[in-house]
Amino acid sequence: MHRVVITGLGCIAAPGNDVASFWSTLKSGTSAIGPTTTVPHEKLNIRVVAEIKDFDPAQHFEEKKLLLLDRFSQLALVAARQAVKASGIKFDGGLGAETAAIVGTGAGGMNTLEEAYGRLFNNGTGSSRQVPLTIPRMMISAAASHLSMEFGITGPCFATSSACSSANHAFGDAYWMVKSGRARAALAGGTEACLTYGTLKAWEAIRVMAPDTCRPFSGGRKGMVLGEGAGVAVLERYEDAKARGADIICELAGFGMTADAGDIVMPSDVGASGAMAMALKDAGLDPSEIGYINAHGTGTLANDSTETKAIKRAFGDHASKLMISSTKSMHGHVLGGAGAVELVAAAMALKDGVIPPTANYQRPDPACDLDYVPNEARQAPIRAALSNSFAFGGLNAVLALRRL
């Protein structure tokens, strides 16, 4: 078995179009949530989202290439390019055949799908003809395939799709491949770009959306806010990274996943705590060694109180000593890409010794009575951290990170 380390990170989300700007915004406690500018909002009841600003696809891709790329694939490629550049890894000399490319997404090419249905139905006057590349653009595995083609990765390549746990499942699969020797390296992450009219109306119907902003764990919270973005990490065997003199950000030390086998939308503290306990065991970490948890923290009444119960169940007396924050308060809920941008936040917290805050926090809630690092970042060197993802369908995935 091999130790697995992260040697490169890439990120594009509402707080910033690269890791440096994203992390700077998070440390400042500045929320990137605001009124939608890209979706016609006249018929929307919920008009706040976390949009990526100042992103021009034409600056990143040739016109011919763009014909093949839905927005969710564009974002994944941008993040992957950042991660590979930061890592300095080269996939020549046979490494490409021993590298995995695994990308999580909950919905896939929703922009392409909505455009296709718009052409088809359009108030009864639409066209039955579709763009020939509709299927290759919208398929859930498209982002993973484009990563493999971009970097010449010919090892295991596939998508994971488990709603809001998709990215953490992608990292977990990649981690196990590298740890076991099935792969020497991996490009892993998650991406989502479904800020479309149809998607927003569908989420409105569930009645879990906040009309103003996302206030995880806070008294007075009103729900979640949708975001978009992508995060990608380069994973390598520790000995390979050391041998080539790579700048190791942290170790991906453990992974845990469970299924609630209960309700399709209501979370379970038993399932969530089980995934945390499994990640700790896999990493060989005692609960007392964890200093920070990047929480799933959606800002809904049910999620935040249940996650609080789960943390107490998993950590016992140490729960009151943990620093916990939900960066969704700043980048929104990126759904299948959430775990990816949150891994970036957790890894940078370990690297820099800075805990990003839970922004927009107003007042304590008796059902959420732990330390959520409200509103202001905290200087706090930590040895290890967890990053939680708990999805609809009771699909729980937790990553354990350790500073080297």
Region for residue 330 given its phi and psi (left: phi exceeds 0; alpha: psi -120 to 50; beta: otherwise): alpha
Task: Compute the half-sphere exposure of residue 345: CA atoms within 13 Å on the CB side of its CA.
Answer: 38
Predicted local confidence at residue 121, as pLDDT? 82
Asked if 251 and 6 count as a contact pair (C-beta separation under 8 A), the reply is yes
Please, what are the averages of pLDDT over each run of 10 residues along the chain (404 residues)? Answer: 98 98 98 95 93 97 97 99 98 97 98 91 69 94 98 98 98 98 98 97 97 98 98 98 98 98 97 98 98 98 98 98 99 98 98 98 98 98 98 98 96
- Measure the CA–CA gap between 251 and 281, rounded to whole angstroms: 15
**C-alpha pair distances (Å), 180 with each of 31, 132, 236:** 39, 41, 12
Asked if 70 and 137 count as a contact pair (C-beta separation under 8 A), the reply is yes
Region for residue 130 given its phi and psi (left: phi exceeds 0; alpha: psi -120 to 50; beta: otherwise): beta
User: Could you give the residue numbers annotated as active site?
Assistant: 164, 296, 333
Taking residue 116's Cβ as centre, other Cβ atoms within 10 Å add up to 18
Predicted local confidence at residue 123, as pLDDT? 59
Predicted local confidence at residue 242, as pLDDT? 98
Predicted local confidence at residue 125, as pLDDT? 62
CB neighbours of 319 closer than 8 A, spacing ≥ 6? 311, 312, 370
Domains of the chain: 4-243 (3.40.47.10), 253-402 (3.40.47.10)
- Measure the CA–CA gap between 163 and 151, rounded to whole angstroms: 27
Query: What's the whole-model pTM score?
Result: 0.97
Asked if 402 and 285 count as a contact pair (C-beta separation under 8 A), the reply is yes
